[in-house]
Amino acid sequence: MKSAIVIGAGLGGLAVACRLAKMGLAVTIFEKNELVGGKVNLVEAAGYKFDTGASLLTMRHVLEDLFNFCSRHIEDYLELVELDPICRYFWSDGTVFDASRNLEKTEAEIRKLNPKDVSAFRAYLSDAKQKYEIAERTFLAKSLNELPEILTKFDGEFLKNLRDLLRLSSLRTLDAHNSKFFSSPKLRQLFNRFATYNGSSPYEIPATFALIPYVEFGLGAWYVKGGIYEIPKSLARLASELGVRIFSGVEVDKIIIKNQKAVGVQIGEESFGADFIISNADAVETYRRLLGVENKFVRRQPSCSGFVILLGVKKQFPKLAHHNIFFSDDYKAEFDAIFKQTKLAQNPTIYVCATSRTDATQAPPNCENLFILVNAPYLTDKVDWEKEGKDYRNLIIRKLEDSGLEGLEESIEFEKIITPLDFARDTNANRGSIYGISSNGIFSAFLRVPNKCREFENLYFVGGAAHPGGGIPLVLLSAKMVADTIIKNL
Ligand SMILES: Cc1cc2nc3c(=O)[nH]c(=O)nc-3n(C[C@H](O)[C@H](O)[C@H](O)COP(=O)(O)OP(=O)(O)OC[C@H]3O[C@@H](n4cnc5c(N)ncnc54)[C@H](O)[C@@H]3O)c2cc1C
């Protein structure tokens, strides 16, 4: 029986372990933290439950596919709830906009902003759908190791692949693309926001990523009853059922290489051998810490990080939906601060997730559990989080109070702050980035770490810093690519 060691029990590590175990490999996971889940994690305190990382599930079919592959029904593990509205958007002039998968409802909201943009929305979504479908059969289906092959092989598929690639590529930024479609500055801002779904800037990310809105408006936005942490919990259960051994609280120190092949891992004084080593630790950090190899990926710009405030409040805010965005007045200045100056934006857009709006298990009666997230720069010496964190927290709470959450400060009965320093420390994320490598720049999508290591045999990378990128569905797809490649090579 062939064996595999997976380093890390983030979603990518758990998913690849399930797939390999289902295919008959003996799989062991070593996770440095006590809890599995990595960036999808949880805090429970004072009767409140909080997801500390991801809060939105998209492309649910990718998660379903994992359960199906393992001959299981997702319904036996998770209760998925579709959200309507998907998200409530607030602007400082008092405008409120509910985005819904029910397109008539969304069009009614758009009509209020600018009637001309209703037809633009339909055209935009149709373009987004086409982009998504191309990405689904190319970029999201193949590991980077295979992509050059499909694009340079002059077989019957070549012209189709080339056509696809040209349709998908764009020299235009997402912001320029959105400005071409929508005359309302508010709609441009709303659709620009989708760049943050992989931790990037709409002013630098190519228009290819205009496919993301289709993922929400076309395929739906989902919550998991009990909290998003139910996903890693259920995958750990599935993995155990399939015979995977999970050791938590165990940090891998080194990947052992012999004759250019990965043959095992070292943990303290002990070493453990396996036929395949799969790193779910941040791929850039895997090179740096576990292989001791400096390489070009270290120079790639990380995605943004996040500043998180978890609040248990003894009050309800009926104006909140499950997902809420309080936009800044100057989106460009905000992204310039985050990515160009790597500083804190002084008028940030604030995301508030209140799962208590949908799920009574999340907070005591008549209370809310607020997960507040502001995009923040990846770690540099420009921000001293220990010093600036408290002031930034106050600025954010004040802005929320000014935006209509009156009495927020005085109703807080539980509070926890998570800074980029915590993301770096807790999950070994490269400079605290929360989506791996950023997608800023035209070719960035093709410059992530390939799933099969090019330098060492039998070594693979799964997770947000590897292909195809960060976010729950993409990380699950990277697990599929790794498992498929291993089995193909066997
Ligand atoms: C605040 C925040 C909000 C987000 N919002 C969303 C969202 O709404 N929707 C969405 O789809 N995505 C969202 N994401 C992104 C999503 O959560 C991540 O892309 C995804 O969870 C990353 O999974 P991963 O497999 O790359 O592994 P990670 O979560 O990075 O896990 C890697 C694991 O490896 C472990 N590890 C590292 N080094 C070692 C070692 N040496 N030995 C042993 N173990 C090790 C770590 O402890 C960790 O558990 C968000 C992320 C954050 C942080």
What CATH number should be reported for the domain holding residue 475?
3.50.50.60
Do both 314 and 408 map to the same domain? yes
Q: Of 207, 222, 237, which closes a domain?
A: 222
9 close to ligand 1 (CB < 6 Angstrom): yes
Do 287 and 210 share a structural domain?
Answer: no
- Statement to judge: residues 313 and 398 lie in one domain: yes
Q: What range does the domain containing 142 cover?
A: 99-222
Alpha helix positions (H), 182-266: 185-192, 212-217, 230-241
Indicate the average pLDDT of the chain: 95
Longest dimension (CA), the chain: 68
Number of domains forming the structure of the chain: 3
Q: What is the pLDDT of residues 414-472, one digit of tens each?
A: 999 999 999 999 999 999 999 999 999 887 877 889 999 999 999 999 999 999 999 99
Residue 435 lies in a domain: no
Residue 48 located in a structural domain: no
The answer on pLDDT for 154 being more than 60 is: no
Residue 32 beta carbon below 6 angstroms from any ligand 1 atom: yes
Q: Which atom of ligand 1 is nearest to the CA of 282?
A: 30
207 CA → ligand 1 middle, Å: 26
Which residue, 169, 194, 222, sits at the end of a domain?
A: 222
For range 112-126, the mean pLDDT:
97
pLDDT the model gives residue 61: 98
| CA separation for the pair 34, 319 (Å, rounded) | 37
Q: Are 199 and 240 in the same domain?
A: no
Same-domain pairing of 149 and 230: no
- pLDDT for 156 equals 62
Distance 233 CA to ligand 1 centre (A): 14
* Residue 312 identity (one-letter amino acid): G
- At 370-390, the pLDDT tens digits run 999 999 999 999 999 999 999
Same domain for 208 and 289, yes or no, is: no
Write out pLDDT tens, residues 303-341: 999 999 999 999 999 999 999 999 999 999 999 999 999
266 and 173 together in one domain: no
Claim to verify: residue 286 and residue 320 sit in the same structural domain: no
For 30-43, the pLDDT digits (tens) are 999 999 999 999 99
Ligand 1 pocket: which of 30, 36, 39, 272 to mutate (most atoms within 8 A of CB): 39
Q: What angle do CA 60, 64, 69 make, to 5 degrees?
A: 150
Q: Are 165 and 190 members of one domain?
A: yes
- Domain membership flag for residue 90: no
150 confidence band (pLDDT: 50, 70, 90): low
Any atom of ligand 1 within 6 Å of the Cβ of 280: yes
Taking the CA of residue 37 as reference, the ligand 1 atom at the shortest distance is 49
pLDDT of amino acid 56: 98
CB atoms within 10 A of CB 426: 18
Q: Which of 79, 68, 55 is nearest to 221 (CA)?
A: 55
Instruction: Report the SS3 class of residue 430.
Output: helix
Q: Which two tokens stand for residue 16?
A: 């690849």
Task: Give residue 158's pLDDT.
Answer: 66
Q: Is residue 240 part of a domain?
A: yes
pLDDT of residue 296: 82
Query: pLDDT tens digit string along 180-239?
Result: 999 999 999 999 999 999 999 999 999 999 999 999 999 999 999 999 999 999 999 999
Distance from the alpha carbon of residue 38 to the mean position of ligand 1, in angstroms: 4
293 and 313 belong to one structural domain: no
Cβ proximity of 185 and 217 under 8 Å: no
> Does 138 share its domain with 157?
yes
**Inside any domain, residue 289:** yes
Does 245 lie in the same domain as 141? no
What residue type is 196 in one-letter code? T
Say if ligand 1 is within 6 A of residue 430 CB.
Answer: no
